[in-house]
């Protein structure tokens, strides 16, 4: 397993070395393809002559979408704009001096605007994805810190959803009642088959108010309960309740 991890890290480091050369390489390849007909004429490579390289170059320009969107993904909007301008400079000689077809500059300009917009949108989407991932990571870290604090509390803590299922129990609660995450609160805590008649979960979640009451459990334990509305990390509206023993359970 250690060798596999080292291999992955080494491969990542090698790919990082070549990354600065990818974008210039893509532009060079696209430029050669775009002017390949003229290159064949200049070098007298008769065997490589093909009518495709001497037609309208609207199709040939599509290849430049690769470096432009790549720049947008990796260097965001600024990178997409820079590579779009470089592509425009590459297109200009053909539009002004080489192309015999009508509206060569107009077609080239329309494509450049389209490609630049696509690259910019790619950068914007990637920015949004990164911000979302960063926010999710921060929220997860905050929740983990909160869970650690909750787990070390002297009182019992239970987070319950509107479906009455327990989403979280701290270690003290699990010690006294057993681990019940995923079970319904009425089954696990009260040993009954339906919600308690005086259950306050719906009221607490819907009214957004804090409630306090006392509750007796089947083992004769009596707890003082303080419950408040709580929104879990996935956006689910829940109830978080603190259980404090007033009368410990009866021992025989």
In a domain, 148, yes or no: no
In a domain, 117, yes or no: yes
Top-confidence range, 18-22, 56-60, 205-209, 243-247: 205-209
**pLDDT at residue 87 tops 70:** yes
- The rounded distance, in Å, linking the Cα atoms of 131 and 234 is 17
In a domain, 65, yes or no: yes
Q: Tell me phi and psi for residue 17, to 5 degrees.
A: -65, -40
In a domain, 252, yes or no: no
One domain for residues 224 and 178: yes
One domain for residues 120 and 227: no
Contact call for residues 143 and 233 (beta carbons, < 8 A): yes
Strand partners, 159: 168, 240
Contact call for residues 238 and 161 (beta carbons, < 8 A): yes
Mark which of 110, 143, 176 sits at the end of a domain. 143
Instruction: Average the pLDDT over 221-247 and give the result.
Output: 91
Query: Which of 100-114, 130-144, 180-194 has the lowest average pLDDT?
Result: 130-144
pLDDT, tens digit (0-9, with 9 covering 90-100), for 172-214:
999 989 999 999 999 999 999 999 988 999 999 999 999 999 9
One domain for residues 71 and 137: yes
Q: In which domain, by residue range, is 188 found?
A: 153-247
Confidence of residue 100 (pLDDT cuts 50, 70, 90): confident
Look-up of token digits 């009425």: 186
Contact call for residues 112 and 87 (beta carbons, < 8 A): yes
pLDDT of residue 8: 47
One domain for residues 163 and 74: no
Q: What is the CATH number of the domain that holds 185?
A: 3.30.450.20
pLDDT, tens digit (0-9, with 9 covering 90-100), for 9-26:
555 555 567 788 999 999
Give the count of domains, the chain. 2
Q: Which residues of 160-178 are buried (b: 16+ CB within 10 A; e: fewer)?
A: bbeebbbbbbbebbeebbe
Mark which of 143, 178, 199 sits at the end of a domain. 143
Look-up of token digits 């480091």: 13
Contact call for residues 33 and 83 (beta carbons, < 8 A): no
pLDDT of residue 249: 57
One domain for residues 97 and 214: no
């Amino acid at each position: 397993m250690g060798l596999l991890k080292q291999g992955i890290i080494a491969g990542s480091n090698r790919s990082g070395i070549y990354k600065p050369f990818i974008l210039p390489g893509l532009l060079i390849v696209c430029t050669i393809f775009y002017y390949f007909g003229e290159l064949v004429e200049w070098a007298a490579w008769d065997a490589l002559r093909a009518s495709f390289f001497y037609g309208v170059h609207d199709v040939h320009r599509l290849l430049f979408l690769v470096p432009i969107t790549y720049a947008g993904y990796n260097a965001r909007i600024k990178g997409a704009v820079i590579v779009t301008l470089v592509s425009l400079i590459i297109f200009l000689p053909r539009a002004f001096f080489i192309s015999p077809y009508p509206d060569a500059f107009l077609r080239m300009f329309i494509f450049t605007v389209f490609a630049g917009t696509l690259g910019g949108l790619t950068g914007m989407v990637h920015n949004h994805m990164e911000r979302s991932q960063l926010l999710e990571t921060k929220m997860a870290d905050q929740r983990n810190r909160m869970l650690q604090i909750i787990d070390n509390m002297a009182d019992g803590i239970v987070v319950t959803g509107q479906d009455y299922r327990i989403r979280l129990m701290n270690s003290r609660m699990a010690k006294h009642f057993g681990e019940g995450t995923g079970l319904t609160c009425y089954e696990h805590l009260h040993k009954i088959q339906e919600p308690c008649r005086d259950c306050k979960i719906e009221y607490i979640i819907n009214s957004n108010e804090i409630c306090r009451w006392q509750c007796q459990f089947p083992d004769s334990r009596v707890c003082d309960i303080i419950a408040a509305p709580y929104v879990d990390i996935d956006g689910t509206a829940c109830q978080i309740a603190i259980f404090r023993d007033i009368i410990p359970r009866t021992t025989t």
